[in-house]
Amino acid sequence: MKDIMKYKGFIGTVHFASEDRVFYGKVEGVNDLITFEGSTVNDLEEGFRYMVNEHIKDCTRKNIPLEKSYKGNLNIRLSPDLHKKAAYNAALKGVSLNQYINNAIKQEIASSDPE
């Protein structure tokens, strides 16, 4: 599991480069590549907040969306065995495979979303 940070509804994924002894991260769910870094946790958090604030300012100034748009279409890859089991379970429940996967994702989000 990646370490994450949250600020103003944005998520930053965090990594550590041992050779350079620096933390670095990326803001997720935006159309641009937004990165940040720091040599301490405090520096990293400050860099993340700064980059999010700059992103918000830029998007507001340019009148563009803050977040990546999602169309609702998703291409997923499953092992053949998992695909077969999911299709079988969907048929048992009397729903399409698409609806079965949709329900499973909703259930996972509801059980793990801390907000």
Radius of gyration of the chain (CA): 19
Looking at the fold, whether 57 and 89 belong to one and the same domain comes out as: no
Residue 8: inside a domain: yes
> Could you tell me the pLDDT band of residue 114, with boundaries at 50, 70 and 90?
low
Backbone angles phi, psi at 70, to 5 degrees: -120, 135
Looking at the fold, whether 45 and 17 belong to one and the same domain comes out as: yes
Residue 56: inside a domain: yes
- Distances in Å between the Cα of 49 and the Cα atoms of 17, 27, 44, 85, 103 are 20, 10, 9, 43, 34
pTM above 0.85, yes or no: no
Looking at the fold, whether 53 and 85 belong to one and the same domain comes out as: no
Looking at the fold, whether 47 and 8 belong to one and the same domain comes out as: yes
Residue 101: the pLDDT is: 94
CB 21 within 8 A of CB 30: no
Q: How many domains does the chain have?
A: 2
**pLDDT tens figures, 51-104:** 999 999 999 999 999 999 888 888 999 999 999 999 999 999 999 999 999 999
Host domain of residue 7? 3-62
Residue 67: inside a domain: no
> Contacts by 49-54 with C-beta closer than 8 Å and gap 24+?
49/7, 51/27, 52/7, 52/8, 52/10, 52/12, 52/27, 53/8
